[in-house]
Amino acid sequence: MNVTIVDYKSGNISSVINSFKEVAKEKVKIEVTSDLKKINSSDKVVLPGQGSFKSCIDALNTINGLVETLNEFAINNKKPLLGICVGLQMFADIGYEETETKGLGWIPGKVTKIDNQNGKYKLPHIGWNEINIMKDSKIFKDIKDKSHMYFVHSYEFIPNDKNAISATTNYSSNHVCAVEIENIFGTQFHPEKSDKTGLKIIDNFMSL
């Protein structure tokens, strides 16, 4: 089996690569590429994302055919895809970071700034926070409710369909920190920075 981490030059993804390789050991081949053929022929795809919604969408669009290939992989062929941080946010129809930007439109909804309640909450939301598991998600197999995950973000994804939400976290308000619809999975937190629990999530995704 091979898992492809999409490298579209959206910031430093070395910790994502290292943690996937650590979990994969010799069992799973990890490829890091923006090669469309390799992405399309892989068994699973990881879409990381660091920086702003707009910068990540722009970076995807810079590689000719990449968005179409991801659509083919996740929407038409229904193969497992995991979005991490802005990788999850890009599933939305639209994001409002920097400027109004069209997303991938895989899970209807929008990405807006977390309400910091007039400065009561610092943004970005950085550090460990507990997650509330909302539904029986395949990537949360053997993960305890109220586990702590590592976050770095100022924007939140608000899906139209609440059934898409697999976990929330409380920071200023309850906001979405994981989604699952059929073969599409996303985490707002960074599993690659969330110690053993995060590695277990990566293992669950690779074991699907």
CATH assignment of the domain containing 64:
3.40.50.880
Q: Which of 85, 153, 156, 175 is catalytic?
A: 85
Q: Residue 83: what pLDDT?
A: 98
Q: Is 85 a catalytic residue?
A: yes
Q: Which of 125, 153, 175, 190 is catalytic?
A: 190
Q: Is the pTM of this model over 0.85?
A: yes
Task: Write the CA distances from 40 to 1, 5, 44, 80, 177, integer angstroms.
Answer: 13, 12, 9, 12, 27
Q: Residue 127: what pLDDT?
A: 97
Structural domain boundaries enclosing 123: 2-206
SS3 content of the chain, % helix, strand, coil (to 5): 30, 30, 40
**Exposed/middle/buried for residue 68 (C-beta within 10 Å: 0-12, 13-18, 19+):** exposed
Q: What is the C-alpha to C-alpha distance for residues 191 and 85, in angstroms, rounded to an integer?
A: 9
Average pLDDT over residues 37-53: 97
Average pLDDT over residues 91-101: 97
Average pLDDT over residues 46-73: 97
DSSP symbol at 143: P
- 106 pLDDT exceeds 90? yes
Q: Residue 17: what pLDDT?
A: 97
- 10 pLDDT exceeds 90? no
Q: Is 192 a catalytic residue?
A: yes
- 70 pLDDT exceeds 90? yes
The count of residues in the chain is 208
Is there a contact between 45 and 74 (Cβ–Cβ < 8 Å)?
yes
Average pLDDT over residues 18-37: 96
Q: Residue 176: what pLDDT?
A: 98
Share the mean pLDDT of the chain: 97
Please count the structural domains in the chain.
1
- 14 pLDDT exceeds 90? yes
List of residues 6+ apart from 143 with CB closer than 8 A: 133, 197, 200, 201, 204
Q: Residue 26: what pLDDT?
A: 87
Q: Which of 97, 156, 180, 192 is catalytic?
A: 192
Is there a contact between 170 and 186 (Cβ–Cβ < 8 Å)?
no
- 73 pLDDT exceeds 90? yes
Average pLDDT over residues 160-173: 97
Q: Residue 11: what pLDDT?
A: 83
Q: Is 26 a catalytic residue?
A: no
Q: Could you give the percent of the chain with pLDDT greater than 90?
A: 98
Q: What is the pLDDT of residues 129-152, one digit of tens each?
A: 999 999 999 999 999 999 999 999
Q: What is the C-alpha to C-alpha distance for residues 80 and 149, in angstroms, rounded to an integer?
A: 22
- 126 pLDDT exceeds 90? yes
Average pLDDT over residues 35-61: 97
